[in-house]
Amino acid sequence: MTDPVLVFDLVFAVVGTGGALLAHHFRLFRRIQRIPRRRIAELQDGTRARVLGTVREHHPVIESGMTGRPCVFYRVQVTGTEPGKTTLKPLIDESRGVPFLVEDESGRAIVDPMDARVDLVADAWSDERSFDGPTPRTDALLARHGFGALSQAWRSNLRMRESIIVVGDRLTLVGFGVREGDPTTGMYREGVTGYHVRMGGSVKHPLWMTKRFD
């Protein structure tokens, strides 16, 4: 798969208070910590494990939807008012990504974000002045979701936030390791002829990744 693929973050939830948000992440941390940590070279087919590694490029990086930063995955969320209304509400939740590598001291594994649950903290935000001038990148984002023709007053009420995964980031991943390839040809990792490792998930346990629990 060489083209960017549209992926959706399945773990997004609206949390009413800061205390509830902290409790949510504490419970998530406890669940993740109970899953055995393994080096990539130790992953066994069909066995769920926790891996800590560094993101490396596998396919050409893409530009994030809001800021245009080079990345392997991004998520942009837009809130605003619908025409004729005054209440702020979620309008857009877009994620895109390309397959990348995660590397630890024992080897590398391919990660495909198509079916991943991605838990990230936003690191870029818009404000009331973000849409005053020409904004071709965010205009394209809005148009992709049916918000192409907006008045300046309507646009001034929009708020965007963006989170990304870039080459060099440290990730915690929880998923299943699968060895693929022809053992008689090639060399993907030192000492393992022909095979490469892919991390994935299942219907019951999708692949999950975060930058929170290094």
pLDDT digits (tens, 9 = 90+) for 86-109: 788 899 999 999 999 999 999 999
| pLDDT reported for residue 195 | 61
Tokens of 65: 């939807």
Spell out, as residue ranges, where the chain has pLDDT lower than 70.
Answer: 1-33, 82-83, 114, 181-195, 213-214
3-class DSSP state for residue 10?
coil
Taking CA atoms, 196 is separated from 37, 57, 179, in Å, by 19, 15, 6
Query: Structural domain of residue 93, as residue ranges?
Result: 5-210
| pLDDT reported for residue 10 | 33
| pLDDT reported for residue 61 | 97
Whether the full predicted model's pTM is greater than 0.85, yes or no, is: no
**How many structural domains does the chain have?**
1
| pLDDT reported for residue 87 | 82
- The secondary structure of 58-72, three-state, reads CCCCEECCCCCCEEC
| pLDDT reported for residue 213 | 64
